[in-house]
Homo-oligomer: A and B are copies of this chain.
Amino acid sequence: MLEDKKTPLTPVSTLGEFGLIKHLTEKFALEQPSSSLGVGDDAAIIHPGEKRVVVTTDILAENVHFNLGYVPLKHLGYKAVVSNLSDLAAMNAVPTQILVGLAASNRFPVEAFEELYAGIALACQHYKVDLIGGDTTSSQAGLVISISAIGLQDEEKIIKRSTAQPNDLLVVTGDLGGAYMGLQILEREHSVYLANPHMQPEMEGYDYILQRQLKPEARTDIRNTLEELGISPTSMIDISDGLASEILHLADQSKVGFHLYEEKIPLDNQTISTAEELNFNPVIAALNGGEDYELLFTICPNDYEKIKNHPDFTVIGHAVEAQQGNYMVARGSHELIKLTAQGWDAFLKRQ
């Protein structure tokens, strides 16, 4: 759990709840002009000016969303922030502030909270967001992390899920399925370790997919890239639960259907080779794996020329009328395969 196993451990009761919050948050400075008042009062204050305030919240539970057997706490803190900022990126908002709630059992010493907050601090620095509030409590069970993130944007620049039109092109950033294949490697090596703690984990050659799983990034860069290209997406969502599930969300909320081309789905070579090694179809990892934190959006067909050769983007399909449904066109056979939501469903897959 802790990176440095020799750190002397301090029980949380030596600081108390208020002392712990103060200890963890006092090094966080406010950098955003919209952060008027941060941690320490009954509530924080944001000064949004003329902008709209965009808010999201995620709750992550131990052994459902993460396993502390192979996820370092620092990475967990970073990733918990990233998953929220990804939601803001999917609205085309600029992330500005976060609030952090933690419930943790007594097996977590002060040093564990420090590592978690070191990861949160790193994400705050990298994405230039301010920690402005939080709450920390004991729990009788494992660790639960709740993060709320706040962003700002002009009303006309916010992009929703509900505004795609038939014939719009479906575009994805980066590549997919890597985070899922990284998880498979981590779980395999953890099983080996549990069976024989003297075995060294074999992580070499998996660096990209392990990073996709352990230290994903939110695509907050895409907002600027699209602006430079003169493209305004007609709808957008982030890929946290797998491509299939996200396409169905866009379809449902925009009242359209989508045709997705299997051969167009962007996959990294390491995702493909690891999938082959584990006798797994990498397209399934992309469709149902989740946690890639890439963005999925639609654009007007007229914008195709602006985007077609850009390395950040891949056109993977197009929107159709709702009654035409949601299908993947299979590679080679061109068979139509119905898209189903087998996304990361915490209640179904991991209970």
Interchain nearest-CB distance for A128 vs B (Å) = 18
The reply on A52 being an interface residue by CB < 8 A is yes
- Write out the residue numbers on chain B whose beta carbons fall within 8 Å of the beta carbon of A146: 57, 59, 101, 135, 144, 146
A240-273 CB contacts (< 8 Å) to partner B: 245, 253
Q: Is the CB of A43 within 8 A of B144?
A: no
- Write out the residue numbers on chain B whose beta carbons fall within 8 Å of the beta carbon of A322: none
The reply on A184 being an interface residue by CB < 8 A is no
Q: Cα distance A6–B142 when bound, in Å?
A: 31
Q: Is the CB of A161 within 8 A of B348?
A: no
The reply on A193 being an interface residue by CB < 8 A is no
**Interface window among A87-95, A117-125, A274-282:** A87-95
- Write out the residue numbers on chain B whose beta carbons fall within 8 Å of the beta carbon of A148: 55, 57, 99, 148
Q: Is the CB of B54 within 8 A of A44?
A: yes
A1-35 Cβ-contact flags toward B at 8 Å (1 or 0): 00000000000110111101000000000000000
Interchain nearest-CB distance for A297 vs B (Å) = 11
Interchain nearest-CB distance for A238 vs B (Å) = 6
A72-93 Cβ-contact flags toward B at 8 Å (1 or 0): 0000000000000001101101
Q: Is the CB of B65 within 8 A of A137?
A: yes
User: Which of these, B13, B55, B64, contacts A138 with CB under 8 Å?
Assistant: B64
Residue of B nearest to A344 (CB): B17
Q: Is the CB of A135 within 8 A of B61?
A: no
Residue of B nearest to A93 (CB): B43
Identical subunits present: 2
Q: Is the CB of B345 within 8 A of A42?
A: no
Q: Is the CB of A59 within 8 A of B161?
A: no
Q: Is the CB of A53 within 8 A of B58?
A: no
A115-154 Cβ-contact flags toward B at 8 Å (1 or 0): 0000000000000000011111111111010101111000
- Write out the residue numbers on chain B whose beta carbons fall within 8 Å of the beta carbon of A158: 45
The reply on A350 being an interface residue by CB < 8 A is yes
Would you list the 8 A-B pairs with minimal beta carbon distance, nearest first? A141-B141, A146-B146, A59-B101, A43-B56, A61-B139, A42-B90, A46-B53, A42-B87
Q: Which chain A residues have a beta carbon within 8 Å of chain B's beta carbons?
A: 12-13, 15-18, 20, 36-37, 40-48, 52-65, 87-88, 90-91, 93, 97, 99-103, 106, 132-142, 144, 146, 148-151, 155, 158, 160-162, 236-238, 245, 253, 341, 345-348, 350-351
Besides A18-B341, A45-B53, A57-B133, 17 more A-B contacts (Cβ < 8 Å) are A13-B348, A16-B347, A17-B345, A41-B91, A42-B238, A43-B54, A47-B52, A55-B99, A55-B133, A55-B148, A57-B148, A61-B140, A62-B139, A64-B138, A103-B144, A139-B144, A140-B142
